[in-house]
Amino acid sequence: MWKGQNGKKVGFGVKAGEVYAWYCPQGNTPNTAQAFKDNVFPAGNEAQCVDDTVNLCYNRKAVLANNDVRDRHGSPDLTMNRDIAKAA
């Protein structure tokens, strides 16, 4: 959800092995790299998070959250792969 938008509802689903989020009301417009930097990151922090279109901050947090669940099931930890993240 972009800064300043008042969406308060989200639903998640999986289709063809991919996770999707649907925000209500719809957000993230315009959908450009500059809009993403302007609306998602604190000022001055974008250089630490985005590298060659890969959002490293999001990926790090997602891997940590995923590994927390995997740990409860006795599964080995995953590591973030930049090539896979870029392709996604």
Please report, rounded to a whole number, the percentage of residues in the chain having pLDDT higher than 90.
12
**Tokens standing for residue 74:** 């006795």
Element (H, E) at 10: strand 9-15
User: Where in the chain are the domains?
Assistant: 1-40, 44-88
Query: What single-letter DSSP state applies at residue 45?
Result: -
Nearest to 27 by CA among 18, 40, 17: 40
pLDDT digits (tens, 9 = 90+) for 17-59: 777 777 776 666 666 777 766 766 565 555 567 777 777 888 8
Instruction: State if pTM tops 0.85.
Output: no
Average confidence (pLDDT) over 58-81: 89
